[in-house]
Amino acid sequence: MRGLSKFKKLQEYFLYFMLYSIIGWIYEVFLEVVVYRWGFSNRGVLFGPYCVVYGFGAVILIFSLYRLKTKKIAIGKIPITPVLVFVGIVLITTVVELIASYIMEFTRGEWLWDYTRFSFNFEGRIALNPSIRFGIGGMIFLYLLQPLFYKAAEKLGEKKVSVISSVLALILIVDCIYTFLIKSI
């Protein structure tokens, strides 16, 4: 029973990974099409509509900051927990983005963004402006979206979560095979 429970949790976290990967892709496309008016391009490294760096970042944030979010930390009567969570999100997402840029450069010869136009950037891989935006987005994610997704996963039940996560895993595996093996030939 305990092993089954861990497998159920793994399926739920995979579901969160995919949801946030899709939300990240939508965010990136929105920026590109609506904000910057550069036109549409697939903003992920895979064929499908997902940016896996957002999924990995979200799952890392869940594991590393979800407990901190629930603590009541204050200086005197001033609560500072949200400030600590925001700083944690900014630091974690910046490190995730930096690592992702090196992984992409190693595997693809390039990374998908260039922050050289922003002040306080490092090699165009990370910059203060996007890190602050990720901090704001992370606050929305941790305080608003994740509790909703958690409740939705609980309402779906174990069987539906299992089926949905299995189908999404199959889609992701096929996409990885296509992107890294077939498309690269």
User: For 77-122, how does the pLDDT look when each residue is reduced to its tens digit (9 = 90+)?
Assistant: 999 999 999 999 999 999 999 999 999 899 888 887 889 999 999 9
pLDDT reading at 1 higher than 50: no
* CA 106 to centroid of chain Cα atoms: 20
What pLDDT does residue 4 have? 54
pLDDT tens for residues 52-85? Answer: 999 999 999 999 998 999 999 999 999 999 999 9
User: Mind listing the pLDDT tens digit for each residue in 15-57?
Assistant: 999 999 999 999 888 888 888 777 777 777 778 899 999 999 9
Q: Burial-class residue 127 by CB neighbours within 10 Å (0-12, 13-18, 19+).
A: buried
Helices and strands: H and E segment counts in the chain: 5, 4
Cβ count within 10 A of residue 165: 21
Inter-CA distances, 147 with 35, 57, 97, 156, 173, Å: 28, 17, 24, 14, 28
- Find the helix or strand (DSSP H, E) in which 39 lies: none
